[in-house]
Amino acid sequence: MNAIFSIAYLPPIEYFTLLSKCEYASVEKKENFIKQTYRNRTLIPSANGILPLSIPVCKNGIHNCPIDLVEIDYTTPWQRVHWRALEAAYNASPYFLYYRDDFAPFYKQKDFKYLFDFNWHLLQLLLKLFNMQVNLHTTEDYCPTPENDFRYIISPKQRLKANYAFKISQTYRQVFADKFDFQANMSCVDLLFNQATEAKKYIMQLEFDSK
């Protein structure tokens, strides 16, 4: 399968599962930024339920700006907030301490001016840690009508135009399993910090049904 994806911040398991089915995949670089999507938001389980974490972006000209030129807003301490949230959520997980040094630079340093670049480098790290070999590239121009378009249907909002059904065929142990039922399709780091080398196996077993 060839497909096109939006860029995403610590993408959900659904995103990685679809990537695993692709022979060739592109990440859209020239679309306009869309608020309240995985482009700058991720979801993790926490002690108080599902917690959204959003990267703030500079608002000037954002509605007419291609996503690769959307700037991160560092005037608020969002990196410290996100890192503390990840520590609180996963310090008790089996593998957070093993991986934390891989992720810490993204939350301790201000190396990236643009949201796209921050997410792209984080995505490359995740693919490496998941041991996923994906032929992944960025677009040079906006792609209007791709064959398999996942840019707008992988969303924290209800999917209104999805052409597939995402099926959770099995669960895995989560940190707050004693308080909550299994929280499906969280950020892929939830799977990584809880399952480590078994994370890829879990993803490969998930299925999608075409509608």
DSSP character string of 27-86: E--SSBP-SSSTTSEEEEEETTEEEEEE--B--TTGGGSBGGGPBB--SS-HHHHHHHHH
Alpha carbon distance 35, 82 (integer Å): 18
Alpha carbon distance 136, 211 (integer Å): 26
Predicted confidence at residue 145, as pLDDT, reads 77
Q: How many CA atoms lie within 13 A of 70 on its CB side?
A: 25
Report whether 39 contacts 156 (CB < 8 A).
no
Mean pLDDT of 115-128: 97
Q: Specify the pTM.
A: 0.92
Give the mean pLDDT of the chain. Answer: 90
Report whether 37 contacts 15 (CB < 8 A).
no
Give 34-49 pLDDT, tens digit per residue: 989 999 999 999 999 9
DSSP class of residue 209 equals E
Alpha carbon distance 23, 72 (integer Å): 32
Could you tell me the two tokens for 15? 């995103």
Could you tell me the two tokens for 9? 């911040």
Could you tell me the two tokens for 27? 């990440």
Task: State the pLDDT confidence band at 65, using cuts at 50, 70 and 90.
Answer: confident
Residues 6 or more apart in contact with residue 131 via CB below 8 angstroms? 197, 200
Report whether 15 contacts 46 (CB < 8 A).
no
Predicted confidence at residue 59, as pLDDT, reads 85
Terminal alpha carbon distance of the chain: 16
Mean pLDDT of 121-140: 94
